[in-house]
Amino acid sequence: MEKVTRRLFCARTALLAFLVSAACVGGLCVNVFAAKSQSEQLTAHLTVWKIVEKDGQESHASADKVDPGDVLAYQVEYHNITDKALSNIQAKLPIPDQMEFVPDSANPKNVAASLDGKKFASVPLYRRTVVDGKKGVEKVPYSEYRYLRWNIATLDAGKSVTVSVRMKVKK
């Protein structure tokens, strides 16, 4: 299991390295897409923990060491550090290759997803198919999602908003 742990650690490190916007707190950053002046006026704090289930009860544990099948909770708190409301904020969270989005775990529920980080659509994602010359549509497996994005319409002065999601370590 050491190899998986190291691989996931690298994925977490890559995730944190990928998040390069000005919204950083304590060395942890999350991607915030807003007008340049707005992104400089937001702080963000990313917390990741492992979900542990015992006797039907859920608790949180350190995510420093994980195994395939473990579920991690990601939570990002955005804080408007200005004295005016900010609007049209897009909070984007990449999903590392070793992780899989857990359906129905996003909060707020109105989350969009992407396979490439450029084109987003509401969850669940669908794609067009052609099988034996017949056109169709199929649901994209959650394991193929690479990014999630929440649209935050307005964040009042001095206020915070939190987005969260669960992801499972691939087997």
Per residue in 115-166, pLDDT (tens digit) is 999 999 999 999 999 999 999 999 999 999 999 999 999 999 999 999 999 9
DSSP 95: -
Instruction: Tell me how far apart the alpha carbons of residues 79 and 64 are, in angstroms, rounded to a whole number.
Output: 26
Residue 11 in any domain: the answer is yes
Residue 163 in any domain: the answer is yes
Instruction: Tell me how far apart the alpha carbons of residues 52 and 31 are, in angstroms, rounded to a whole number.
Output: 27
Residue 134 in any domain: the answer is no
pLDDT for residue 30:
43
pLDDT for residue 14:
36
SS3 content of the chain, % helix, strand, coil (to 5): 15, 50, 35
16 phi-psi bin (left φ>0, alpha ψ -120 to 50, beta other): alpha
For the chain, report the end-to-end CA distance as a whole number of angstroms: 11
Q: 94: domain range?
A: 2-109+149-169
- Alpha-helical runs (H) found in 23-165: 36-39
pLDDT tens digit sequence for 1-54: 333 333 333 333 334 333 333 233 223 334 444 434 445 788 888 899 999 999
* SS3 call for 38: helix
Residue 43 in any domain: the answer is yes
